[in-house]
Structure 1
Amino acid sequence: MNRIRGRWARLRRITKINLILGTVFTLVAAYIGVTAYFGTASQVRYTSNDFPGAKKAATAFLRLSPLQRHIGYFNRGTAEAAVGDYDEAQSDLEAALKIAPTSAECAVRINLSFVYEKQADEISSQDPDQSQELYDRSLKTLEDAPEECQPKKSEEKQKSEQAKDRVEDKKKGEKAKNDGTDDSDSGDDSQDGDSQDGDQKSEDDKSSEGDEKSEDESSDDSENSEESDGKSEREKKREELEKRGEDSDRQQQQQGPGGDGGRSAPDKPW
């Protein structure tokens, strides 16, 4: 009888231990499954253009997962960039860049460069100097990418080169536009001055002969013609750079999800 009781007590202890271990295992498995679900959901919703949903799923992933947090920051930052929340996207993508492994670094840099580029576009007319600094930051973000994450002929390498060319064109176009505006303003001032001087001279020289006036007028016409020719060359160059920038924007929008204007974003390379 005592032997049977001992075996029964031992069996009960083993059963309790198994129940405890099974419960722990089930909770861990559920935790891992839910975390993986939110990580995958953020990518699936982004692909289907549900950017708010992608942001919520990425936020839930960050709350749950102590591992691979760069994926959560990257997914959330990319979703924010897709709807034009560039300041929030910058914060998240910079956080992702700090902790991303080398193999994933290029993906983060490509989208972070995109955010800097769009920030520069938004302030190009209000603050040209700050805009140029952001374009430079965008280019540097791409140039500092390690070779390990962008081998030759890889998709990351191709996207990085395309982004560099696009930002360079925009930077040159904005610089040419600003330079042209400065030249135009100075030209207007000089024309106003010439006009005033001409009026004053015409009053002082009323007694001069008609032949001298015609020579002066022809000389002024030739000078104005030269100035006009010089200005047109600058305008042609500026228009060419602006057109290249517009073409780059159009190509970039076509690459984004759905290609729908303001909601466009670079293809998600993750």
Structure 2
Amino acid sequence: MKYFVIFKLFNYKTMKNKMKLLGLTMMITVLTFVAIGAQAISLDKKTDIEERKSAVEERRNEKVCSRIDDVLTRLEKKIGKKNGEDKLKERVQIRTKEMEENRAKRDADLSERREVRDQNRDVFYDKLKAKAGEDSAKKAAVEKFKTAVETAIKTRREAIDSAKKTMNAGIDRAIATRETSVETFRNEFRSSVETAIDKAKSSCENGASGEELKSVMTQLKNDIKTARENYKAKVSEVKKVQESIQTLREVRKESVKLAIENFKTTMKAAQEELRKAMGA
């Protein structure tokens, strides 16, 4: 009886330990599942955050890339407005028309003055002929003087007209060259910017990351800045057409001065010869 009680007591303790072990095992299992579930939730949450970040970055990149195509248009408008080139052709047309009208007016005034002077010289020649009377030597001297004067005047006028024509042609070429050069430089600027844009667009099409895209956009800005500075420097230089025009005017001035000096020299000699012939 004693051994039976002992055995039963031992058996009870064993069962109790087994139950504890089973409970502990179940608790560990539950905790394991809970931990795995929490890890899975955390992983899912992290994945969701990463996906949202990726989506945001993708949208941002798409937005940046979509704006690249508008860069050239916005730059041309900005530069054109800043340099006043949007109205350049209109201004050139107005100035060309005004210049042509002023030239025509000056030519008409000059022609009128010359005609008056021609008439006055005819009156002067008639007076000289009257003074010469019937003296054949004096009459011959008057005719010689008249020929010398008319030849000198013709030579002077031709020299002055040629100098003016050369100046006007030079001014026209300078203005035309300026406008052609500005257009050429603008096309060069457009080509440079288009090349930079194509390079940036290629990076976008190849799926550049956010950091890579930042580098691409920085390079694009630098390329555009260089193209713009080159364009502005060239345009600024070629627009100094006034210096060329001033040089042309100085050349004309010297040519006219020389023509007048030669005329005066010829007239002085003719007048001296006439004076001696007339016995004055």
TMscore range, shorter length: 0.3 to 0.5
- TM-score with structure 2 length normalisation? 0.39
Q: Which has the higher helix share?
A: 2
Greater gyration radius: 2
